[in-house]
């Protein structure tokens, strides 16, 4: 039943194709038959006119050659199997090709045709009578005029079988050709249909497995064309979903760690304060630690909420003109202790003293914070941090470079994905759940600007983004 359903379109196609074939064949054969019959009639009329004019001319010139007319009669008999008769205007036979011809006209037929041509019209009678063999025939009467009068009449009587045999041969060749073409088309369609069914079944099976969480399932691509492209797209989708699932698991593991650690500290210190383990004079110190941990939790949850809102385009930018270098210095001061601890060299290469841009100040601060945080986090002791600004036409270009470990080439395209972490280790300087760069990307995207990354292993990484300069048009 399943095979019938899958081949049902093919069956419908075959029925429709066969019906169309029969219609086309019928029309084609009728056109061919009409063409050959018309051609035969025209040929015989031309032959009758020629032989009739030759006869009249011979009578006028007294140059009468009976051998010539015997030759013409024999030629017409062999070529068209015609019985040819030349009569006067009263129906008296003057010349007769063969009296014992199989398709011989009788006197009554001759008189009838001659009578009908007295007005000078060519007469064609078809299928009105049959010969002794039962084959259809047709007769023509061609009047030969002189001085406005019928001088003689050429009557020809020919069978249709001669023509029909030629037409039948063409029918047969046409039928065989069309049947062969139809069979080849049907065979190709059958093969294509079977391949299509196998492809769709494989795609259906893989899609169900992917939907059930088996992201390792793949479609075996053994064909080209659109189905091959579809199969490749399905495999790419399964691969991306697998990576997303892996990132989701990493996210759950990372966020569980990032939430559990401060909660454990908060719980431990609060409990120690309540049961008196921590002396009263030291409580302020540990309460400040508790406050720092709560701020860390708040920052974490706010980042997750911000990323979700930005991806759903729920964050409205509050753009204004501000001096960019001042914001850079302000953000950089927040990392003062980390820079001192790592003994890093910091260079500020500013285009000019003041660089005013038009953007959302708070969001750009967040972009700078995340990029500088990454640069410091992944730099080694005595590393370098370079922040440079330039102006290109109506854009300010900001780049943040570090001399850290760099990003592998196969990881570059994934750094903007949520929860992706290039460094899977979780050292004290590698805290985070992998959404910082995702937030950066979304903020820059919301500003309709671009951000690029250039990295070399062992040499460092450089992030570059653009912002519009403040002008009278956008202020």
- 423-428 long-range Cβ contacts below 8 angstroms, 24+ apart: 423/378, 426/254, 426/257
DSSP string, 104-140: PPPHHHHHHHHHHTTTS--EEEEEEEE-TT--EEEEE
Q: Are residues 232 and 368 located together in one domain of the fold?
A: no
Q: Are residues 156 and 222 located together in one domain of the fold?
A: no
Q: Are residues 23 and 140 located together in one domain of the fold?
A: yes
3-state secondary structure 444-465: HHHCCCCEEEEEECCCEEEEEE
- Retrieve residue 349's tokens: 């290469």
User: Does residue 174 lie in a domain region?
Assistant: no
Chain centroid to CA 11: 26
Q: Nearest Cα to 76, choosing from 97, 102, 95?
A: 97
Q: Are residues 365 and 405 located together in one domain of the fold?
A: yes
Task: Name the helix (H) or strand (E) containing 358.
Answer: strand 356-360
User: Does residue 474 lie in a domain region?
Assistant: no
Q: Are residues 271 and 300 located together in one domain of the fold?
A: yes
Cβ atoms of 434 and 445 within 8 Å: the answer is no
Q: How many domains does the chain have?
A: 3
Q: Are residues 37 and 114 located together in one domain of the fold?
A: yes
The tens place of each residue's pLDDT in the chain, 475 residues long, gives: 445 455 566 667 677 777 777 787 778 777 777 777 788 888 888 999 999 999 888 888 877 777 888 888 888 888 888 888 898 888 888 888 875 545 455 666 677 778 888 777 888 887 644 444 456 777 888 999 988 888 899 988 887 655 566 667 776 777 788 788 778 877 877 777 777 777 777 778 888 887 887 877 787 766 667 777 777 887 888 888 887 777 777 767 767 766 777 788 888 888 888 888 888 888 888 888 888 888 878 877 877 777 777 767 767 788 999 999 999 999 999 899 889 999 999 999 998 878 999 999 999 998 999 999 989 988 889 899 999 999 998 899 999 999 988 888 878 887 887 666 655 443 344 555 567 888 889 899 989 999 999 998 888 999 999 999 988 766 6
Domain final residue pick, 314, 347, 369: 314
**What residues have CB less than 8 Å from 70, skipping those under 6 apart?**
none
Eight-class DSSP state of 414: T
Domain final residue pick, 314, 335, 367: 314
Q: Are residues 59 and 95 located together in one domain of the fold?
A: yes
d(CA 407, CA 131): 100
- Retrieve residue 85's tokens: 């008769």
Q: Are residues 268 and 337 located together in one domain of the fold?
A: no
pLDDT at residue 433, as a whole number: 57
Encode burial over 309-333: b for 16+ CB neighbours within 10 A, e otherwise. Answer: ebeeeebeeebeebebbebbeebbe
Cβ atoms of 446 and 453 within 8 Å: the answer is no
- Retrieve residue 401's tokens: 């470079």
d(CA 398, CA 449): 12
User: Does residue 475 lie in a domain region?
Assistant: no
d(CA 371, CA 328): 11
Q: Are residues 290 and 380 located together in one domain of the fold?
A: no
CATH code for the domain in which residue 202 is found = 1.10.287.130
Question: Residue 244's domain spans which residues?
Answer: 198-314
pLDDT at residue 391, as a whole number: 93
Please give the sequence-ordered ranges of beta strands (E in DSSP) within 89-226, or none if there are none. 93-96, 123-130, 136-146, 149-159
pTM metric for this prediction:
0.48
Q: Are residues 368 and 455 located together in one domain of the fold?
A: yes
User: Does residue 192 lie in a domain region?
Assistant: no
Q: Are residues 304 and 346 located together in one domain of the fold?
A: no
pLDDT at residue 424, as a whole number: 46
User: Does residue 189 lie in a domain region?
Assistant: no
Q: Are residues 247 and 336 located together in one domain of the fold?
A: no
pLDDT at residue 105, as a whole number: 58
User: Does residue 321 lie in a domain region?
Assistant: yes
Straight-line distance from the first to the last Cα atom of the chain, in angstroms, rounded to the nearest whole number: 71
């Amino acid at each position: 039943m399943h095979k019938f359903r899958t081949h049902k379109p093919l069956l419908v196609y075959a029925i429709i194709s066969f019906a169309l074939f029969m219609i086309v064949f019928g029309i084609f054969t009728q056109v061919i038959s009409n063409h050959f019959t018309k051609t035969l009639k025209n040929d015989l009329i031309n032959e009758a006119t020629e032989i009739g004019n030759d006869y009249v001319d011979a009578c006028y010139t007294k140059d009468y050659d009976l051998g010539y007319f015997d030759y013409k009669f024999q030629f017409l008999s062999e070529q068209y199997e015609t019985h040819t008769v030349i009569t006067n205007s009263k129906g008296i036979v003057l010349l007769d090709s063969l009296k014992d011809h199989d398709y011989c006209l009788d006197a009554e037929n001759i008189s009838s045709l001659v009578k009908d041509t007295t007005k000078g019209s060519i007469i064609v009678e078809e299928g009105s009578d049959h010969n002794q063999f039962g084959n259809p025939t047709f007769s023509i009467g061609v009047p030969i005029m002189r001085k406005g009068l019928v001088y003689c009449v050429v009557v020809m009587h020919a069978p249709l079988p001669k023509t029909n045999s030629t037409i039948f041969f063409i029918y047969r060749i046409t039928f065989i050709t069309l049947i062969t073409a139809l069979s080849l088309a049907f065979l190709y369609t059958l093969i294509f249909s079977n391949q299509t069914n196998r492809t769709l079944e494989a795609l259906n099976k893989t899609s169900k497995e992917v939907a059930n969480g088996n992201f390792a399932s793949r479609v075996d691509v053994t064909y080209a064309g659109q189905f091959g492209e579809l199969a490749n797209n399905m495999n790419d989708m399964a691969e991306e979903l697998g990576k997303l699932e892996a990132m989701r698991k990493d996210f759950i593991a990372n966020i569980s760690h990032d939430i559990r650690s401060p909660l454990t500290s908060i719980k431990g210190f609060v409990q120690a304060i309540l049961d008196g383990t921590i002396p009263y004079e030291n409580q302020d110190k540990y309460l400040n630690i508790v406050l720092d941990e709560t701020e860390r939790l708040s920052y974490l949850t706010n980042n997750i909420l911000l990323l979700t809102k930005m991806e759903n385009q729920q964050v409205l930018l509050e753009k204004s003109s501000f001096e960019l270098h001042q914001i850079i210095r302000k953000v950089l001061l927040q990392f003062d202790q980390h820079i001192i601890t790592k003994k890093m060299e910091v260079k500020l290469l500013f285009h000019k003293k003041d660089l005013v841009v038009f953007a959302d100040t708070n969001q750009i601060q967040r972009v700078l914070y995340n990029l500088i945080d990454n640069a410091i986090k992944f730099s080694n002791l005595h590393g370098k941090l370079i922040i440079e600004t330039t102006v290109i036409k109506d854009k300010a270009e900001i780049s943040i470079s570090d001399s850290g470990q760099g990003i592998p080439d196969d990881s570059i395209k994934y750094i903007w994905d949520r929860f992706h972490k290039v460094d899977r280790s979780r050292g004290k300087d590698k805290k985070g759940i992998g959404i910082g760069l995702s937030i950066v990307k979304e903020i820059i995207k919301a500003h309709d600007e671009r951000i690029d990354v250039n990295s070399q292993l062992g040499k460092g990484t450089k992030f570059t983004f653009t912002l519009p300069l403040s002008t009278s048009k956008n202020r």
